[in-house]
């Protein structure tokens, strides 16, 4: 097996046992990048020398460590370029921040590095992860198609075997959508459980750090390091013990045949494995939930981008400026309050199932890089602060990946990841 295909968990085990060096694994990832990057364009910056040197240090440290290594000792990861890093530039895909060096790691990066992980580079993003300039990244399955956004480079790099782990962020659908389009696992934990310090602010109510991997075990490993859940390591349940609620959401009419087929296929496979699969219809109170998300995102986005609008109006993309239209604070307050009042309602609803099964996207990745795709199936879970994850395995009529999404109640991240462990394998052909 080629080294770059290994999961983070397997890399960590092989480094810890001395079977493979961290340096060799990092070099394997760099070689994979060399092979593929000219087509994919996942990376805003690669820390070739720094990563190799950190790998060598990790290998030396292993010999001196007497077995006490961090759970990601020597394992490379990628960081979306709206998240601050100490050594590499952090440019937000913005002309304003060319060469910007924030001088320290964002807390989430620092925690992963404290667990032994090595920053391989920064990944391409939509400008400020907020409706600005799109990234140059292409879908690794078809370079004519978008990888989704805004965490485009992170999803593409993990899906394309360049790196086993990558950090992203979600305000609308910026983790789940690219994961689904590129065909890897994307996870957005419960809001607030991972520090957003050192991450470009867009909406204080919505912004959430998430991450990508190719196995659920890797997603769980990071969740454990970040201590997001009280119950993060329940056993993966038997399929036959599961009760899955299929939630088509108020926006099902926007699901294309690829997505309709994927949801039906996933439901069929889960049922075949013995799970109880039933329709789960949201209360009518959720009918305008995506509109609430839009109000919150736009109103809070105005607060977030006011400084750039004032200081660099000509360098801020029209896509961001045009979303700075003023929403009355009364409307924002009403949206925040309604959203907050529905969170416990959703928790009770979702708590009646082991997971909610729902679309990750409207369909396969669209052709062209002008749009990163429709986030309609993402925003409501973000505003609900609910943990959600997209699982790959299924494909659409054009042969591209179609993800399906699992959602759980707030702070049930551990239980949701256990269910994901069970269901992920059922989606593999």
Q: Which residues contact 403 (CB under 8 A, 6 or more apart)?
A: 176, 179, 180, 181, 183, 186, 262, 360, 361, 390, 391, 392, 394
201 or 400: CB nearest its own copies: 201
182 or 327: CB nearest its own copies: 327
Q: Using CB under 8 A, which residues numbered 210 to 229 contact its own copies? A: 226-229
Residue 411 contacts its own copies per CB under 8 A? yes
Catalytic residue among 94, 150, 154, 317: 150
Residue 285 contacts its own copies per CB under 8 A? no
DSSP 148: -
Q: Which residues contact 374 (CB under 8 A, 6 or more apart)?
A: 254, 361, 362
314 — phi, psi (to 5°)?
-80, -15
User: By CB under 8 A, which span of 187-195, 287-295, 314-322, 349-357 interacts with its own copies?
Assistant: 187-195
150 flagged as catalytic = yes
Task: Give the per-residue contact string, 59-98, with its own copies (x = CB under 8 A; - = no).
Answer: --------------------------------------x-
Residue 110 contacts its own copies per CB under 8 A? yes
CA distance 295 to 22: 46
Residue 83 forms beta bridges with which residues?
Answer: 199
Q: Considering the complex, what minimum distance in angstroms separates the CB of residue 353 from its own copies?
A: 18
Q: Please report the sign of the dihedral spanned by the C-alpha atoms of residue 60, residue 65, residue 67, residue 71.
A: negative
Q: Which two tokens stand for residue 24?
A: 């060799």
80 flagged as catalytic = yes
Residue 35 contacts its own copies per CB under 8 A? no
Catalytic residue among 80, 122, 188, 200: 80
Q: Please report the sign of the dihedral spanned by the C-alpha atoms of residue 212, residue 377, residue 81, residue 366.
A: positive
Residue 347 contacts its own copies per CB under 8 A? yes
Residue spans of alpha helices (H) in 95-165 = 107-114, 152-159
The one among 197, 265, 294, 374 contacting its own copies by CB under 8 A: 197
Contact 211, 219 (CB under 8 A): yes
Positions that interact with its own copies (CB under 8 A): 97, 100-105, 107-108, 110-111, 113-115, 190, 192-197, 200-201, 204-205, 226-230, 300, 302-304, 306-308, 310-311, 326, 328-330, 332-333, 337, 340-341, 343-344, 347, 410-411
Active site residues: 80, 150, 174
């Amino acid at each position: 097996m080629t080294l770059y295909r290994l999961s983070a968990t397997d890399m960590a085990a092989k480094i810890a046992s001395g079977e493979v060096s961290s340096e060799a694994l990092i070099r394997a990832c760099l070689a994979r990048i060399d092979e593929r990057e000219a087509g994919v364009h996942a990376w805003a910056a690669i820390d070739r020398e720094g990563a190799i040197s950190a790998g060598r240090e990790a290998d030396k440290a292993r010999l001196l460590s007497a077995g006490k290594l961090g759970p990601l000792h020597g394992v490379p990861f990628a960081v979306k370029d709206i998240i601050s890093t100490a050594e590499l530039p952090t440019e937000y895909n913005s002309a304003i921040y060319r060469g910007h060096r924030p001088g320290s790691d964002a807390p989430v990066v620092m925690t992963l590095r404290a667990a032994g992980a090595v920053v391989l580079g920064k990944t391409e993003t939509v400008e400020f992860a907020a409706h600005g300039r799109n990234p140059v990244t292409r879908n690794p399955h078809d370079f004519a198609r978008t990888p989704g956004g805004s965490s485009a480079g992170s999803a593409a790099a993990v899906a394309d075997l360049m790196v086993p782990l990558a950090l992203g962020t979600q305000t609308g659908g910026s983790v789940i959508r690219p994961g689904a389009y590129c065909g890897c696992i994307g996870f957005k934990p419960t809001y607030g459980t991972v520090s957003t310090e050192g991450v470009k602010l867009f909406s204080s109510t919505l912004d959430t750090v998430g991450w990508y991997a190719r196995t659920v075990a890797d997603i769980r490993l990071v969740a454990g390091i970040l201590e997001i859940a009280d119950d993060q390591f329940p056993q993966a349940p038997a399929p036959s013990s599961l009760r899955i609620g299929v939630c088509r959401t108020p926006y099902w009419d926007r699901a294309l045949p690829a997505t309709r087929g994927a949801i039906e296929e996933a439901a069929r496979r889960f049922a075949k494995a013995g799970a109880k699969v039933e329709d789960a219809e949201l209360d009518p109170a959720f009918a305008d939930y995506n509109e609430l998300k839009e109000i919150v995102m736009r109103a809070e986005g105005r607060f977030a981008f006011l400084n750039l609008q004032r200081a660099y109006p000509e360098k801020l993309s029209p896509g961001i400026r045009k979303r700075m239209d003023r929403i009355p604070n009364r409307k924002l307050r009403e949206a925040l309050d309604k959203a907050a009042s529905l969170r416990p309602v959703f928790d009770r609803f979702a708590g009646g199932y082991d997971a909610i099964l729902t679309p990750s996207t409207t369909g396969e990745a669209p052709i062209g890089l002008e749009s990163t795709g429709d986030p309609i199936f993402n925003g409501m879970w973000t505003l609900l602060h609910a943990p959600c994850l997209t699982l790959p395995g299924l494909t659409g009529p054009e042969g591209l990946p179609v993800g399906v999404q699992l959602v759980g109640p707030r702070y049930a991240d551990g239980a949701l990841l256990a269910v994901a462990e069970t269901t992920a394998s059922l989606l593999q052909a």
